[in-house]
Amino acid sequence: MSGTLYVVSTPIGNLEDLSPRAARVLREADVIAAEDTRAVQVLLDRADAGGEVRGGRRVVSVFEGNEAARAEALVAELAAGKDVALVSEAGTPGVSDPGERVVRAAIDAGLAVVPVPGPVAAIAALVASGLSAAQFRFVGFPPREAGARGELFGKLRADPATLLIYEAPDRVGATLATLAGAFGGARAACVSRELTKRFEEHVRGPLAELAARFAETAPRGECCIVVAGAGDEVVAAVDIEAEVRALLASGLGPKDVAQRLVVKTGRPRRELYQLALSLARARGGESGSDEP
């Protein structure tokens, strides 16, 4: 008989969050497929303290750089009857962490995949934010490039779902500023950091206020930004051409017009630039030399 792939959620900080079921699966698995083989040893020591460990258990690495190749090897292990426990460095595999390719490969091979639920930083931040959990959208890590990030948030400005966003500490301020530009500075939000750890903190307030707070001083530790969904007051569809004409009339060039509107409309920056350039030329006031 073939083995089972267990997708095991592990603590995001506090080791007490390792569930009894997760500990048992880690003890009994033939293979532990871990994003960080050194970090997982702490979990295995904790899990092993609760019962007998299956003899011959092996630990192998599965990280972003080798996941595609490793998936094939793990499928072979499963087909040979070995049980495999898949774990990321913290949280749930496949959720902004390696694991998705391994799961997909096992499913494509007709093998059993069993989730062992547990901590997810985004959900912990959501329930602590005080914002609606009736419907929510997980965005993960937004693009690092400012234009692509603005374009993404522009597309989400009218989404009624609460948004869950992961961000590195040194980019939190810039991301909050982009969110404020796209959604309006009054939109409610919460920045959660160091979840389940000693210095856990939840900073709640309007986007503009949070952007100002973190503009100069980056928060410490991993962060999750929770943003309230759009309400009925959100402006209806933007008349893009009218907006472009108004900005051109104010003295802005096509490049600046495109940059200004990308977060408001969610349209690609180059598309906005071409429209602004066309309208500027029609007015006889732009040569197009400022193309981004």
Tens of pLDDT along the chain (292 residues) come to 899 999 999 999 999 999 999 999 999 999 999 999 998 999 999 998 767 777 678 999 999 999 999 999 999 999 999 999 999 999 999 999 999 999 999 999 999 999 999 999 999 999 999 999 999 999 999 999 988 898 899 889 889 999 999 999 999 999 999 999 889 899 999 999 999 999 999 999 999 999 999 998 999 998 999 999 998 665 455 677 888 888 888 888 888 888 778 777 767 778 888 888 888 888 774 444 455 5
> Residue 232 has what pLDDT?
65
86/9 Cα distance (integer angstroms): 9
Arithmetic mean of pLDDT over the chain: 90
In one-letter notation, the amino acid at residue 65 is: G
> Residue 287 has what pLDDT?
45
DSSP line for 86-148? EE-SSB-TTSSSTTHHHHHHHHHTT-EEEEE----HHHHHHHHHTS--SSEEEEESPPSSHHH
> Residue 286 has what pLDDT?
47
> Residue 290 has what pLDDT?
55
CB 54 within 8 A of CB 30: yes
Class of domain 4-119: alpha beta
112/93 Cα distance (integer angstroms): 16
The whole-angstrom distance between residue 268's C-alpha and the CA centroid of its chain comes to 21
> Residue 238 has what pLDDT?
62
Model confidence, pTM = 0.80
> Residue 237 has what pLDDT?
54
> Residue 291 has what pLDDT?
52
> Residue 260 has what pLDDT?
75
pLDDT (tens digit per residue) in 7-19: 999 999 999 999 9
41/62 Cα distance (integer angstroms): 14
CB 3 within 8 A of CB 83: yes
In one-letter notation, the amino acid at residue 230 is: A
169/58 Cα distance (integer angstroms): 35
> Residue 37 has what pLDDT?
92
Q: In 3D, which of 131, 142, 118, 136 has the Cα closest to residue 223?
A: 142
Q: In 3D, which of 52, 138, 133, 54 has the Cα closest to residue 91?
A: 138
> Residue 144 has what pLDDT?
92
Class of domain 122-227: alpha beta
CB 150 within 8 A of CB 126: no
CB count in 10 Å sphere of residue 85 = 29
200/198 Cα distance (integer angstroms): 6
Residue 135 CA neighbour count, 13 Å, CB half: 6
